Amino acid sequence: MSGLKSNEASAGALHVSLEELQEVEKLRNPSPNVLVGLFEAFGFTPGEATLVEELTESKLVA
């Protein structure tokens, strides 16, 4: 992430815990805290850092 050398450094830059960052990486579903960190730390806009998907019935069951 932007030249940061460790997950700890990335979590620190985003102002989230290492555990929260690891959970986001695993599930690919960022929390609002991580999104705000991306916006503030790296100047991302919501459209650059997110993808909105339509929620379908099959996704609700999974």
What's at 29, amino acid-wise? N
Say what the pLDDT of residue 61 is.
Answer: 64
Say what the pLDDT of residue 59 is.
Answer: 61
3-state helix, strand, coil in the chain (%, to 5): 60, 0, 40
Average pLDDT, the chain: 84
Spatial distance between the Cα atoms of 27 and 21, rounded to a whole number of angstroms: 10
**Dihedral in degrees, nearest 10, Cα atoms 39, 16, 34, 55:** -170
- Segments of the chain scoring below 50 in pLDDT: none
Say what the pLDDT of residue 16 is.
Answer: 94
Say what the pLDDT of residue 29 is.
Answer: 84
Which pTM does this prediction carry? 0.66
